[in-house]
Amino acid sequence: MSLNITPIKAGRFYLDPLLLAVITGLLLIGYVMVSSSSLHLGAKLDNNSLLYPIKQMIHIGLGLALAAGVFTVPLRKWEQWGPNLFVFGLGLLVLVLIPGLGVRVNGAVRWLSIGGFRIQVSEVVKLISVIYMASYVTRYEDSVRNSSFGLLKPLFLFTIACVLLLMEPDFGSAVVILIIALGVMFLAGARLWQFGILLAAVLAMAAMLVIVSPYRLRRVISFLDPWADPQDTGFQLVQALISFGRGEWFGVGLGSGIQKLFYLPEAHTDFLFSVIAEELGLLGVVTVIVLFALLVWRAIDIGAKAEVVGNKFAAFIAYGIGIWFGFQSFINMGVNMGMLPTKGLTLPLMSYGGGSMIVMCCAVAILCRVNSEVQEMTASQPKRRPVWARAS
C-alpha cells in the first residue's frame, strides 16, 4: 500500500518525516534498553555502571555523524562503486581470517580492531551486498529476467563470500546476504520457477551445513525442546522464554528485570528483545515490532516510487535495505521468542555494538538519500509501474 507522506524540505534535500520518526524511535528505545541491560556488567567489569551506556552513546554519535556524510553522496556514485565495493568486502572477509588481524570472541573470528573499535566485517559486507546487487540488477535487468546465467553470475561471488563467512564461522550473516541477493533478484523480475529452484538450493545447503556441524545441530535440537537440557544447550532459550513470561502485558518496569542479571546471556546484544519483553511487556514488544514493520514498509514504498520515476538503482537499493532490516530483525525476534534456533544476529539499530550501529546508520542514510532523490524526480518524470507489480 502506498501512502502519500508530505516530505520535509531541508535545504536542497527532502526528508521523510515518518521514516525519521521510526529510526529515531528505534535508536531511543534501543539505547534505553541497552543501558538498562548493561548497568550491572559495567559495574562488574570496570566498576563503572555507565560503561556500556557511554560506549553505546559514542557508537550512535559516530554512526549518525558518518550517516550525515553518507547522505550527501549521490546514488550514482554508489552505483559506480558497487562492483569495487564487493571486491573490497571480500578482501575484508579474508583479512579477518588472517591470524593476528582478526579478533576472536566466543570462539568466532568476526571482528577487526580499527582505532580501538571492533568492526564486525559481516555487517559491512551486508551493506556492500545491497549496493552491489542493486547495481548488478540495474545493469543486467534483462539478463536477470530472461537468463539463468544472469541469476547465477552474482551468486558465484556471493558463494565465495558465504564460504569466507562460514570459516569465521558466521552462519547467520551468510544466510542474510544470500536472502538479500535472492530477494533483490526476485523483485527485479526473476522468473518464479528459477527463483524457486535457487531458494530450494539455498535451503538444502543450509540444512546440510546444520547436519554436518555438531554445534549447529545441537542448537537445532535444543530449539525443538529447550527444557530437555535447561542448564546447558537449552539455557539461552529457556532464560529468554522466562523473560517473556515475566513481562506479561506491561512488563515488570524499566530497570526492574532480573533475567539480565547473569541469567540471560548477551542480554545487551543478541537477546535485547527479551529484556524489552520482561521490562516493557507485550506493549513494548508490539511497539518494537510495529516500528520495524513501518521501517520495512517505508523502504519498500520508497523503492516502488523510485521505480515509478524510472530510477531503478534507487529502487533496488531501497528494496535491498528493506529486505535486510526486515529479515534480520525477524530472525533476532524469532530467536528471542523461541520460534527459531539460536543465531548470533543483532537487532538492527537497537542492540549494543559499534560496527553494527555505524553500518546500520549508514544504511538508513542511503535509504533517506533514495527518498530525497525520488522526491526531486517525482514532479518531472512520467509515471511507471514497478517491475514486480506489472502483469507477466
State the cell numbers at 360.
Answer: 546500520
Tell whether 385 is covered by a domain. no
Cα 68 from chain centroid (whole Å): 19
Tell whether 286 is covered by a domain. yes
Cis peptide, bond prior to residue 226, ω within 30 of zero = no
Burial (CB count within 10 angstroms: exposed 0-12, middle 13-18, buried 19+), residue 201: exposed
CB under 8 Å to 120, separation ≥6 — which residues?
Answer: 110, 111, 353, 355, 356
pLDDT value of position 301: 95
Q: Domain total for the chain? A: 1
pLDDT tens across 73-131, in order?
Answer: 999 999 999 999 999 999 999 998 888 787 887 777 888 877 666 788 999 999 999 99
Tell whether 177 is covered by a domain. no
Tell whether 172 is covered by a domain. no
**Phi and psi, residue 25, nearest 5°:** -60, -45
245 lies in which domain range?
8-72+216-376
Instruction: Report DSSP state, residue 118.
Output: E
Tell whether 183 is covered by a domain. no
Tell whether 272 is covered by a domain. yes
- Across the chain, mean pLDDT equals 88
| pTM value surpassing 0.85 | yes
Helices (H), the chain: 17-46, 51-71, 75-95, 121-139, 141-146, 148-166, 171-187, 192-212, 214-224, 235-247, 272-308, 312-336, 354-378
Instruction: Report DSSP state, residue 339.
Output: S
pLDDT value of position 30: 96
pLDDT tens across 221-274, in order?
Answer: 777 778 877 787 778 888 889 999 999 999 999 988 888 887 888 888 889 999
pLDDT tens across 326-369, in order?
Answer: 999 999 999 999 888 877 789 999 999 888 999 999 999 999 99
Tell whether 77 is covered by a domain. no
Tell whether 340 is covered by a domain. yes
Owner of C-alpha cell 556441524: 213
In Å, the largest CA–CA distance within the chain is: 63
pLDDT value of position 141: 85
pLDDT value of position 361: 97
pLDDT tens across 151-170, in order?
Answer: 888 888 999 999 999 888 88
User: Alpha-carbon distance 34 to 51, whole Å?
Assistant: 11
